[in-house]
Structure 1
């Protein structure tokens, strides 16, 4: 497989990242940070989740955020819905976004702990939602959590994950994201996994979503790229993580991922200094140091005499 020379990166910090923050983030700050990401060149941003506010109070202002943000016209906004009730609520403001993400865990135990349903129950609802999303003229993206391993069940069978992906595609999903939800992947398996996924899902956008829980996130992204993957998700400042179980820390830092790709000659369409600036601003808003490397080091600046 030839290494892609250009990749797409969806910024998921405003949803996947913010939802794990224990302190309330004011709506004004969320809007300001999302606008900054838009100015950095992102054409895909995950903005909100239509879940019960008592479950994730941090995202209870999702409709207001969607109504107030001001990003370039070419920026596609994504929302995540956990079930048909969430989709009903999202469609009340369907003019505010372009993509809808539905999801399931490949692991029965994680799925039960996450959404209190079996995998079969979740997929039955997902089949219905995917068709509704397509009818609404919106892009349907599906996400399979614990694709690379489960903290409760251990190894997750690759065939099981790809069977779920194929079912999503048959229901109408045009993008399938594979989540390393608790950071259990390694580069060798990432290479094997994405080679198999790309072979099994022709015509479907295959997206890698790695967490840096055990420090292997960038290495896994590199392995996925080498296997032919050209679509990634990441979170500025390395925000995020999985609340089930505790200790599953954040996503790959977007600015670190972009820095690596740019140094490899892989185009992203993103303005790295502006991505770093947005991450540093998030650090200020949250009042604590974030864990990405590029926040501290900044982009690589090669002396002109050495070029």
Structure 2
């Protein structure tokens, strides 16, 4: 079964003008009608770092989760953020960005990789105590622009460390859109075979024309969990000045359905969500 994770948080976080709380909530409520597996809806991080997400708790209070099929995921960058997020029973997953690149780990969370791994362990313990799950995003998982060491073997070392911490969900993340189809297939194939107890996802950034080949490459490697954002909005504001957008969800859906996958989505609600992006993002 294919799992689609819709990421309005990632789509919104780099927008310079503040999006009104009520507008954010209305958009996420509309997305909840579509039937995505999970909605990455917000983050509990420093408002100085990501000012767009400073109202995540308020947005959550405005969500209509009655009969919602989708689970909720919130990003955190430290233990304090995890503790804040875990106060809300409605949140199912906490996402933490662990980078393969030392430079990006410092830029993104103001911590070293060694310190970040300790944070992962602490968050994992908190999640287990609360009956929640942690999703670790391996940022710069397909290469980095800083000249830091990178290899598929290095990724495997990180996965091994996360496996020892009992992390069960890892999303391989192409933060700057450099992944090639061959590398995507290879990484997923090797990791999935080596760590069958872990569910691997793909959080890729891409130019629109490259999305189908990247989805197919992930499928070939055994990936069944894909992150995206409608119309490809978003990108990591901590990565580079020129943002490479998220995988456009509608393109992923078209690609997957052409491959014969039934995604169980409400297409009329999806169309309404697509219309709403023009209002939310002023596109």
Normalization by structure 2: what TM-score?
0.94
- Distance in 2 (alpha carbons) for counterparts of 1:46 and 1:265: 26
Residue 279 of structure 2: aligned partner: 284
8 Å CA contact 1:210, 1:221 repeated in 2: no
Alignment partner for residue 81 of structure 2, among 70, 83, 86?
86
Range 158-167 or range 52-61, more displaced: 158-167
* Uncovered stretches (5+) of structure 2, i.e. residues with no partner: none
Give the aligned length.
Answer: 281
- Distance in 2 (alpha carbons) for counterparts of 1:73 and 1:195: 33
Q: Which protein is bigger by CA-based radius of gyration?
A: 1
- Distance in 2 (alpha carbons) for counterparts of 1:17 and 1:141: 18
Per-residue Cα deviation, 1:200-221 (whole angstroms, up to 9, x for no partner): 2112111011111484333112
- The correspondence of residues 82-121 of structure 1 with structure 2, limited to 5 A, is 82-91=77-86, 93-121=87-115
Cα distance change on mapping 1:284 and 1:73 into 2, 3 Å = closer
Residue 15 of structure 2: aligned partner: 21
Per-residue Cα deviation, 1:224-279 (whole angstroms, up to 9, x for no partner): 10121111111112111122211122100111101111122112222344324312
- Distance in 1 (alpha carbons) for counterparts of 2:195 and 2:108: 26
* Uncovered stretches (5+) of structure 1, i.e. residues with no partner: 1-5, 289-307
- Distance in 2 (alpha carbons) for counterparts of 1:223 and 1:215: 14
- Distance in 1 (alpha carbons) for counterparts of 2:271 and 2:242: 25
1:177 paired with 2:171, answer yes
Residue 240 of structure 1: aligned partner: 234
- Distance in 1 (alpha carbons) for counterparts of 2:62 and 2:28: 10
Q: CA RMSD in A?
A: 1.6
What's the offset of the Cα at 1:52?
1.0
Residue 64 of structure 1: aligned partner: 58
Alignment partner for residue 39 of structure 1, among 11, 33, 39?
33
Residue 199 of structure 1: aligned partner: 193
Residue 131 of structure 2: aligned partner: 137
Q: Secondary structure of the residue that 1:261 maps to in structure 2? A: helix
- Distance in 2 (alpha carbons) for counterparts of 1:12 and 1:173: 21
Alignment partner for residue 186 of structure 1, among 175, 180, 183?
180
Normalization by structure 1: what TM-score?
0.87
What's the offset of the Cα at 1:162?
1.9
1:167 paired with 2:161, answer yes
- Distance in 2 (alpha carbons) for counterparts of 1:49 and 1:237: 21
